[in-house]
Amino acid sequence: MVTSPDDKGRDEQPLTDGEPLLGWLLDASHELPPDDVAQMVATAASGLGARKVQLYLVDVDQRQLVPVLSTGPGAVEPLDIEGTLAGRAFQTSLPAGSEGPGPMWFPVRDGADRLGVLRMELAEYDDQVEARARHLASLTADLVVAKRQYGDLFHRVRRRRPLGLAAEVQWHLLPPLTFSCPRVQVAGILEPAYDVAGDSFDYAMNGDILSAAVFDGVGHDLTSTVMTTVAVGAYRHARRRGLDLVQMATEIDDALRAQFQDQSFVTAALTQIDVSTGAVRWLNAGHPRPLLLRDGQVVRTLQCRPRPPLGILHGLHGDPEIGTEQLEPGDALLLFTDGVVEARSSTGRAFGFERLADFFQRAAASELGPPETLRRLVHAIVEHHDGRLQDDATCVLIEWSSR
């Protein structure tokens, strides 16, 4: 735990007033190496009268919160997300603690993407102190995101065991797991987190159009990861050129066949949602059909005639059908790979659509947001499979509001 801040030789010290304190940290961050982020945050927190400051990041499979830079005698141990105040702050994205003597936990989020928590013991606690502490936690998230591309510390901290090579590639291919704006919220997750291979997803918000896609490369090895990487790259290349769904699929087809002259293929669901109206357009390339959720109930699967998987010659099959759907305020779409419903227990029972529907009904009753809903869903799938999935299970949950 960081208990005695060290300013690494800098002449300036943080001021006790909230805004100058954050400004000091911003100024100090420009040439700040990744390994010094946690220490500088602790230095800034001392300006709030905080002590025993500790930054925790969520581990890869979102089961524990792991301390940054806590080693040697007296090292701080990771904390379980379930059943702890730190975990409550992470799950709810709200401060948790005693609001008096003792530790307080503040969520560390990049936008809506949950990165971890910041622990502080504050000498005083009122609305102003809480606001400044929350702002410091938000700035901490910005620093972690900005600095993690320059070093490996934050990646190492989040790993409780070695990551497979295929998983290494896939995790760095992903966008942030969560995105939120006034009319839509997106959350995605992958399992098995340390061994995922052929599954991936992507999304982008451009004007009023949210584009989102889920991919599943055939197989479960590094080759399937390479296929999916090509598919996601071609998808982004086509999307950024403003192509429509049919053209996107054609571009991905061409890219895959240029690299894999055999029957290698990738299944996919490509969607576009106009967030100003709730109008959905989607294309199915040999993939499980998305589910429409309303008031915690699975209303139906989205319907359209599927085309062959991407990478398989499609010219003889005619133009693919584009499915359409009109969302109501509060509706959600679940895009997923077949590993979600086909995960089997040791007795051979599939997780199945009925169990999936029951899970979302219970999640709605608990008023969980999309990120926490998916975190709990994939853990339920893993537990159903006795702790080890035989196939990747990937979900993207998109919740729409008319506001």
CB 350 within 8 A of CB 340: no
Domains 18-157 and 165-400 share a fold: no
103-110 and 113-122 beta bridge pairing = antiparallel
Considering the four listed CATH numbers 3.40.30.10, 2.40.420.20, 3.20.20.70, 3.30.450.40, the one that applies to the domain covering 18-157 is 3.30.450.40
3-state secondary structure 380-399: HHHHHCCCCCCCCEEEEEEE
Tell me: domain 165-400, CATH 2.40.128.90, correct? no
CB 54 within 8 A of CB 66: no
Q: Does the global pTM surpass 0.85?
A: yes
* Domain ranges for the chain: 18-157, 165-400
* Cβ-Cβ contacts under 8 Å for 391 (sequence gap 6 or more): 220, 337, 338, 339, 342, 343
CB 311 within 8 A of CB 331: no
pLDDT in tens, the chain (403 residues): 544 334 444 445 555 566 688 888 888 899 999 999 999 999 999 888 888 999 999 999 999 999 997 655 567 899 999 999 999 999 999 999 976 667 999 999 999 999 999 999 988 888 888 899 999 999 999 999 999 999 999 999 999 999 999 999 999 999 999 999 999 999 999 988 898 888 999 999 999 999 999 999 988 889 999 999 999 999 999 999 999 999 999 999 999 999 987 778 999 999 999 999 999 999 999 999 999 999 888 899 999 999 999 998 655 556 789 999 999 999 999 999 988 877 777 677 778 888 888 888 888 777 888 999 999 998 888 888 766 676 788 999 999 987 6
Task: Report the alpha-carbon distance of residue 399 to residue 331 in Å, rounded.
Answer: 6
**Max Cα–Cα distance, the chain, nearest Å:** 72
